[in-house]
Amino acid sequence: MSQKIGIIGAGAWGTAMGISLAKKGQEVELWALEADVVESINTVHENKKFLPGFIAPENLTASADIKKVASGKDFLILASPSLYLARTMKGLLDVPNIADGSTCIGILTKGFIPSEGSPKLILETLEGVLPESYKKNLVYIAGPSHAEEVAMGKVTGLVAACENPRNSIRFREALRSKGLLVYSSFDVIGVQICAAAKNVVAVAFGCLDAIAEKSDVFGDNTESLLLAAGLNEIQIIGRAMGATHPETFTSISGVGDLDVTCRSKYGRNRRFGHDIIQKNILDKFSDLDDLIARISEIGYLPEGAVACKYVHQIAQERNLRLPICNGLFRILNKEMQPAQFIQEILDGMEI
């Protein structure tokens, strides 16, 4: 039975999810801020700006009217960047099926949301914006899933995490296809931490990978060392913030997502780490706050740069020892050079 699904955010990941769902026969509508993206999807069935080369089925359409995309949908999937997610959601509160809680909402966005106190996780932030009926009913969707391979239909695993098992199952069944395997989890905090913090580790991994290309000291063994230590730091953050299931970190949402984010050629965070070393991309920014404020100038969105600021804040507030995450903060904040950073985190890592 065909279901009506709206996706808020027509970047690479939102578009890829839309293509996967449309191939399954669902009626999918994407919201895009950019008029050229809407025109491209509706006329040539391709998101030439954010996911070029992948043709979408005709039952995937796009609109610049965000309330139209959200209205009358069985499922709504949020795929806006973390920097804009809360503001975007506030604009949908008067949509009838959102106001009455009848639409099941899932979130693809990774990262932390700034607040007056400690940074908040995605679901906690959205629960503070949405009607009370959505409390403990939002579904967080994550896993090792680069957009390009999802759009190609290559076998991919995802986790649908929700405190309400019924909603987890609803999304699991809505998303599942021959190429998309979806599993349930109750550990909404752990899955969110994995999704956000792995991007920070991936930036560090990209730095090391770029240095290793011309190094007699660093190689594949070193990169695996960094990956393992990065997973350890993600677990430390998760435990401190209330993750409920240790196996979350050894499953596809933990080590699986971390591995593909660090090693895949499609990874924007890995690419950003490369660009720090190879293109001196940080030179035009004065510090991390300046980088975040002008992040559009990079030409792509490395979520790990934004998440790094909030992971550093959490580490300071909770007295967490995170040499990789805190070391990357220092490099993005222009407090030390990349080569020194890599050496220091290798010297300070604990597995």
Q: Would the annotation count 268 as a binding residue?
A: yes
Q: Would the annotation count 147 as a binding residue?
A: yes
Q: Would the annotation count 204 as a binding residue?
A: no
Q: Would the annotation count 269 as a binding residue?
A: yes
- Please confirm, yes or no, whether 90 is among the known catalytic residues: no
Q: Which of 62, 78, 51 is nearest to 171 (CA)?
A: 78
Q: Would the annotation count 11 as a binding residue?
A: yes
Other Cβ atoms closer than 10 A to 177: 17
Q: Which secondary structure element, helix H or strand E, spans residue 184, and what is its range?
A: strand 180-185
Residue type, 103: T
Q: Are 120 and 113 in contact (CB under 8 A)?
A: yes
Q: Would the annotation count 143 as a binding residue?
A: yes
Q: Which of 49, 198, 214, 284 is catalytic?
A: 198
Phi, psi of 287 (to 5 degrees): -165, -175
Distances (CA, A) of 154 to 7, 20, 70, 72: 21, 10, 28, 31
Q: Would the annotation count 320 as a binding residue?
A: no
Q: Specify burial of residue 78 (Cβ count, 10 A radius: 0-12, 13-18, 19+).
A: buried
Q: Would the annotation count 65 as a binding residue?
A: no
Q: Would the annotation count 87 as a binding residue?
A: no
- What's the CA gap between 189 and 235, in Å, rounded? 11
Q: Would the annotation count 10 as a binding residue?
A: yes
Which residues participate in the annotated binding site for NAD(+)? 9-14, 147, 268
Which residues participate in the annotated binding site for NADPH? 13, 110, 147, 268, 301, 303
Which residues participate in the annotated binding site for sn-glycerol 3-phosphate? 110, 143, 145, 198, 257, 268-269
User: Would you name the residues annotated as active-site residues?
Assistant: 198
Which residues participate in the annotated binding site for substrate? 110, 268-269
Which residues participate in the annotated binding site? 9-14, 110, 143, 145, 147, 198, 257, 268-269, 301, 303
